[in-house]
A and B are shown apart, each in its own frame.
Chain A
Amino acid sequence: METPRFELTASPHIKGPDSTPRIMWTVVGSLVPVILASVWYFGPSAVLVIATTTASCVLTERFLGHGRTLRDGSATITGILLGLTLPAGLPLWMAFIGGVFAIGLGKLIFGGLGQNVFNPALLGRAFMQAAFPQALTTWPDLGGPWWALRGDNLALPFMTPHVVSSMTGATPLGLMKFESTHTALAKLIFGSTGGSLGETASLVILVCGGYLALKKYLDWRIPVSIFITVAALSQIIHIFMPGEPDALFMLFSGGLMLGAVFMATDMVTSPTTTKGAWIYGAGIGALVVVIRLWGGLPEGVMYAILLMNSLVPFINRATQPRLFGTGKEAAA
């Protein structure tokens, strides 16, 4: 009997439809509405900043990484997310350097995709916060024509950007913290407030995150656990200290939505276990409230997530799933 040549593979011989590039590019796709919202509010500056960080992340991955990993889309996500956390008027050269650091120090130095401990976009953002503190906290005013740049985007490297005093606005959290004024909730939900490029349109972020959660490309437990913790803690504090903001303001202001939905849920840097996801989310929520109310900064989402990122290996270890046929569920 003549035998033709056949494939010999180990079981299973069929594969589910998901693939890592597909997950990554779906996340990129779900970020598009968020990008569009930021362009709506911040005009061409938004396009420039996000395009710059994305380009610098992809280029860094291409030239410092294996090169093989370029098409998986993960560097693109990092680039877009980094851009979304920056103020609209940021000089582009700073944005570029931020992208290089995000991928280089945030990801490649750990061994590339899947190996990094910290969310690369947030690590890049933290680096920029330290390196360019002033530029990172210069928020553009929302007035003025849509097509105008919201700051000195095109400033030359290492030159002091040309600051137009009328163009600096403030974020709702900054207003709350330093001037004790509150921003209307509707503005917070729809995003017509000061802030980083992608963090203002809470509603858009929630819808996009919901889509990803339905596709199981993000673990819904993490944002839900963050929201519950932040809301509960801040509401309790609000009851005892009415001067502090209430739960709704805390939920919809600052980078909480963007951070909880798109940053904290980064698969690589969040726990793999179900129980771990709840703990991790609760930790982020508690840290956000503590930093916002008692820290020196108006915003704490970035540091809260980075801190909890560092605990993920321990959380994973402590929350291994219960083995089938052990514990009280197993028949004696």
Chain B
Amino acid sequence: MLNLFGHTFRHGVHPPESKGLTEHVPIRRMPFPKRIALPLRQHAGKPAKCLVRKGDRVERGDKIAEADGYVSVPIHASAAGTVAEIGWWPHPDGSMVETVVIDVEHYSPQIPRPRMVPDWHGLTPDQVRAAVQEGGVVGLGGAAFPTHVKLAPPEELPIEWLLVNGAECEPYLTTDHRTMVEYPERVHFGIRIMMQCLGVKRAVIGVEMNKPDAIEALQRTIPADLDVTVRGLTVKYPQGAEKMLINVVTGREVPSGKLPMHVGTVVQNVGSIATIAEIFETGLPLIERVVTVTGPGVRRPSNLIVPVGAMLGDVLDFCGGITDDAEEIVFGGPMMGSSQPDMRTPITKGTTGVVVLTASEVKPKKTYPCIKCGHCLDACPVFLNPSQLGLLAQAGRYDEMQTRYHLQDCMLCGSCSYVCPSNIPLSQMFALSKSALRKQAAAAPPPPPKTEDEGAEGAKVA
């Protein structure tokens, strides 16, 4: 069905955009810190297998860990130096993860070893996928799903559209925004390679209308021989969720429990596309990414190119440090990001931004009983009943949440919690319920889960 009221999906919320701090700040390169920490798990799927030992010397761009299986990617050193230790280290998701810590060489020119730059002309899809996996590319929108897997849809599912996700609906973040404004040609080059690999004729870049300069830059640079359109999208959260973007651009709904490829689409984040372009421009793997460091608690909000593995403390120091009233540090956007307790936590491939919030944003709110106002039902982009799910979660009736109220379709976008006038932590309760159900399923003797659903559940919002 064609949407006559602008390009948007039903429901959703309108948090303050708060992008003004950094939306016109050009991307700068952060200097190499003294130490970097590279977790072996920076992507969805199996963690990488470590290839180095303590004391080994690595150049910038060297592979330090290799892909362990198909849904896995290698990890490369983002700076030249010596492996100082390999051990447990704080990870952005709150756990401790096996991590390679490298002492960065002080006077190194940080020039990568000479390498072959693959010529994209005439590369078969398999060769492109191999190059993308070898480059360690994952979705840079937050979910960090290995990109080469998305580039290999099964043959019985023809892909019609390549959708490029430049919605960036999370408040504060301007990572994709600045990428589109400053590197539009690179985005188009990446699109060209992906279209060739997927064999699709049409590509659509979806950009929220609050980034007119990005839309303009992309439109100006569309190559004459590519069928690429730039589509302005209504500013609404979670416009950047895969399912929402597909719905808006194609008018289709991804069937519950299915993937974008089931409606003939592949969705890639703008940043991932630019990274793929870089692989075919310079041969360099994914060792640095654009990160927005912002929020009222940062003295000098910036858009930075940060080496993967740079630690939170170093990144904040480079941005002038945090203000005295800083209360909470979030990796990712404030709607879906995770708060960080430790200054040693590294920026990983999936870290879109660092948002430092102050007391006025995070002050604890009193919780009231659910008054059944129904605002969460009007907010949920996948038409769940968060109010009812919340009551069931409180009662511990996880099975009923799953079988009757479709908990598995919740993507934890946080819209329900955002609107709830009673401040009930709905999405947190759903995350807990999901993990309780996963534990139940793991304990049960016959494990029935389909591998495909895992991807759908992990679908994140850019």
The docked-state distance in angstroms from the alpha carbon of A72 to that of B422 is: 10
Question: CB distance A114 to B337 under 8 Å?
Answer: no
Chain A residues within 8 Å of B372, by CB: 114, 267-268, 270, 272
Whether A67 sits at the interface, judged by CB under 8 Å, is no
The size of the chain B interface, using a CB distance under 8 A, is 72
Chain B residues within 8 Å of A20, by CB: 368, 371, 421-422
Question: CB distance A12 to B334 under 8 Å?
Answer: yes
- Considering residues B362, B373, B380, which has the most beta carbons from chain A within 10 angstroms of its beta carbon? B373
Given contact pairs A9-B362, A330-B256, A267 touches B341 in the complex (Cβ within 8 A): no
Query: Nearest chain-A residue to B370 (Cβ)?
Result: A114
The docked-state distance in angstroms from the alpha carbon of A173 to that of B387 is: 40
Question: CB distance A19 to B423 under 8 Å?
Answer: yes
Whether B279 sits at the interface, judged by CB under 8 Å, is no
Q: Contact partner of B427 among A3, A10, A271, CB < 8 A?
A: A10
The docked-state distance in angstroms from the alpha carbon of A320 to that of B389 is: 12
Question: CB distance B385 to A272 under 8 Å?
Answer: yes
The docked-state distance in angstroms from the alpha carbon of A321 to that of B383 is: 6
Interface on chain B toward A: helix, strand, loop, or mixed SS? loop
Question: CB distance B382 to A324 under 8 Å?
Answer: yes
Whether B263 sits at the interface, judged by CB under 8 Å, is yes
Query: Nearest chain-A residue to B324 (Cβ)?
Result: A4
Query: Nearest chain-B residue to A24 (Cβ)?
Result: B371
Contact string, A208-235, partner B, CB cutoff 8 A, digits 1/0? Answer: 0000000011010000000000000000
User: Which chain B residues numbered 355 to 381 have a C-beta less than 8 Å away from chain A?
Assistant: 355, 357, 361-362, 365, 368-375, 377-378, 380-381
CB distance from A214 to the nearest CB of B (A): 14
The docked-state distance in angstroms from the alpha carbon of A20 to that of B367 is: 9
The docked-state distance in angstroms from the alpha carbon of A272 to that of B374 is: 5
Chain B residues within 8 Å of A16, by CB: 13, 15, 418-421
Chain B residues within 8 Å of A330, by CB: 252-256
The size of the chain A interface, using a CB distance under 8 A, is 48
The docked-state distance in angstroms from the alpha carbon of A21 to that of B425 is: 17
Whether A182 sits at the interface, judged by CB under 8 Å, is no
CB distance from A29 to the nearest CB of B (A): 16
Contact string, B37-67, partner A, CB cutoff 8 A, digits 1/0? Answer: 0000000000000000000000000000000
The docked-state distance in angstroms from the alpha carbon of A6 to that of B326 is: 8
The docked-state distance in angstroms from the alpha carbon of A8 to that of B342 is: 11
Contact string, B320-364, partner A, CB cutoff 8 A, digits 1/0? Answer: 000000111110001111111111100000000001010001100
Q: Contact partner of B344 among A1, A14, A115, A271, CB < 8 A?
A: A1
CB distance from A69 to the nearest CB of B (A): 8
Question: CB distance A22 to B328 under 8 Å?
Answer: no
Whether A47 sits at the interface, judged by CB under 8 Å, is no
The docked-state distance in angstroms from the alpha carbon of A71 to that of B435 is: 36
Question: CB distance A267 to B373 under 8 Å?
Answer: yes
Chain A residues within 8 Å of B335, by CB: 11-14
CB distance from A329 to the nearest CB of B (A): 5
Whether B282 sits at the interface, judged by CB under 8 Å, is no
Known: A8-B339, A273-B385, A325-B382. 5 other contacts (CB 8 A): A10-B427, A13-B357, A20-B421, A325-B255, A331-B252
* Chain A contacts to B: CB under 8 angstroms: 1-3, 6-16, 18-23, 69, 72, 74, 112-115, 216-217, 219, 267-268, 270-274, 316, 320-326, 329-331
